Amino acid sequence: MLVQFGQGRAAPHVGEPVVRAHEGGTERDVAAPSAFHDLPTWKSSVHHTTARSAHTTRRPPLMRSVPHRALSPAMMPRPRPASSMDAVRGGSKHGADVRVQPPSLETPVYGVVLKNARTAAGLSQVALGNVLSCSESLIGLVERGQRKPTKSFTIAAEAALGLNGELFRLLPNTRVMSVPNWFSEWPTVEENAHTIRTWQPLVIPGLLRTPRYARAILAAEPGATERWVEEAVETRLRRQSVFERDDPPMYWALVDECVLLRPFGGKEVMREQLVHLLEMAERPNISVQLVPLEVGATAGLLGGFALAQSDGMPDRVYLDSAAHGTVSAREETVRQVSVRYDAIHKWAHPAHVSRRQVCEVAAGYGLQ
């Protein structure tokens, strides 16, 4: 057991897909949208809602009979302007223009949670669409982050999949009292993570706090009421259930030594918190390492952060700040924060030294 303390259309080129559309008995060739080329792994489809059909070919006879370089803009058909509803339906009513919003830069947590829950329930996109009285394509668009889910869709999906707010709390502009909007995404990231690494220069990491220690921190918030504090404590401590999973995440925490010396809530609260820290560090999936005061300046003095790795979604980072936290899946941001974590880690005490140091500080708070 290891105990350490411590994401105008141009003429098509040769071999480029084109869409042959049938309108009023007349065939016309239209270049496939750029999304098909920009996203080679994206399997797009045209949803047929009328008797008119559209199919994709490599090079129709019209295009094969004329050398590509001989084509002029005048020879190319002009696609009709798309209506404002085309982007919603995923294509024009004739199927000639396939207009689908490309995926967002960051794979949305909502879509990942929906897909994971659907898969766990043994449902295909078609099956879930039947249950929710919507199309298979809509389910796919929501899962890929190309369509924003509505409140009614979310309520129906949670009922069908046996969820309890996991999707609802991820809706834009939806917040629970005492939970900031920016914080609503991170607990879901933690729930799906297999590895979490965190650095805290000022307080005990959230997943390792006792209720009284958490209450002491939150009570210091400007304008905090007793009701708000209790709701905030309950909401934040609920995150700790990730350690009760059958496959809990590996949790690597780096904590500045000064965190032990600041008596949040008084000696009794601190003694209880440090005992809890010792007990949690006994778990084989939890590592806590102290960064000693004598190190001086470190790469983490700008604030705390956490890094999460999950299957099926990009690595994400949570950054603390005075106004609000930030959750990001941008590769460059994740890389920079990961480098900082490694730079801090090299100064951390080994397991036995960290444990002994926590015990010594706890004794100063009255631990026998």
Residue corresponding to tokens 């223009």: 97
Q: Is residue 208 part of a domain?
A: yes
* Domain around 333: 193-364
Q: Which of 118, 136, 170 is the last residue of a domain?
A: 170
Shared domain for 136 and 215, answered yes or no, is no
Shared domain for 240 and 208, answered yes or no, is yes
Shared domain for 124 and 209, answered yes or no, is no
Quick one: pLDDT at residue 183?
62
Q: Which of 170, 205, 220 is the last residue of a domain?
A: 170
Quick one: pLDDT at residue 283?
95
Shared domain for 239 and 120, answered yes or no, is no
Q: Is residue 354 part of a domain?
A: yes
Shared domain for 162 and 219, answered yes or no, is no
CA distance 236 to 239: 6
Question: In 10 A of CB 178, how many CB atoms?
Answer: 19
Q: What is the pTM of this model?
A: 0.56
Shared domain for 147 and 236, answered yes or no, is no
Shared domain for 279 and 136, answered yes or no, is no
Q: Is residue 298 part of a domain?
A: yes
Shared domain for 354 and 241, answered yes or no, is yes
Shared domain for 163 and 218, answered yes or no, is no
Q: Is residue 145 part of a domain?
A: yes
Shared domain for 290 and 354, answered yes or no, is yes
C-alpha dihedral, 229 to 234 to 239 to 240, nearest 10°: 110
Q: Which of 155, 170, 185 is the last residue of a domain?
A: 170
Query: 283 φ, ψ to 5°?
Result: -70, 140
Amino acid at 223: G
Buried b (16+ CB within 10 A) or exposed e, 189-227: bbbbbeebbbbbbebbbbbbbbbbbbbbbbbeeeeeeee
Q: Is residue 26 part of a domain?
A: no
The domain that holds 161 is classified in CATH as: 1.10.260.40
24: left (phi over 0), alpha (psi -120 to 50) or beta: left
Question: In 10 A of CB 177, how many CB atoms?
Answer: 9
106: its two tokens: 């960051």
Q: Is residue 1 part of a domain?
A: no
Amino acid at 101: Q
DSSP summary character for residue 245: S
CA distance 206 to 146: 33
Buried b (16+ CB within 10 A) or exposed e, 2-24: ebbbbbeeeebeeebebbbbbee
Quick one: pLDDT at residue 201?
95
306: its two tokens: 């956490």
CA distance 2 to 5: 10
Q: Cα–Cα distances in Å, from 204 out to 59, 257, 281?
A: 63, 10, 13
Residue corresponding to tokens 């010792």: 278
Shared domain for 165 and 267, answered yes or no, is no
> Which DSSP helix (H) or strand (E) runs through 116?
helix 109-120
Domain total in the chain: 2
Residue 256 β-bridge partners: 291
**Per-residue pLDDT tens digits of the chain, which is 368 residues long:** 444 444 444 444 434 444 444 444 444 444 444 333 333 333 344 344 444 444 444 444 433 433 444 444 444 444 444 433 333 333 333 333 333 343 343 447 888 889 999 999 999 999 999 999 899 999 999 998 888 888 889 888 988 898 877 787 777 655 444 455 546 678 888 988 999 999 999 999 999 999 999 999 999 988 888 988 998 898 888 899 999 999 999 999 999 999 999 999 999 999 999 999 999 999 999 999 999 999 988 899 889 999 999 987 889 999 988 777 888 889 999 999 999 999 999 999 988 899 999 999 999 998 86
Q: Is residue 162 part of a domain?
A: yes
Residue 21 β-bridge partners: 28, 54
Please list, in sequence order, all residues whose beta carbon lies within 8 angstroms of the beta carbon of residue 5, skipping any fewer than 6 positions away. Answer: 255, 277, 281, 287, 288, 289, 290, 349, 351, 354, 355, 357, 358
Q: Is residue 103 part of a domain?
A: no
Q: Cα–Cα distances in Å, from 368 out to 274, 344, 362, 363?
A: 13, 32, 9, 6
CA distance 236 to 146: 30
Amino acid at 193: A
The domain that holds 357 is classified in CATH as: 3.30.870
Strand order, beta sheet including 26-31: 26-31, 18-23, 54-57
Shared domain for 217 and 322, answered yes or no, is yes
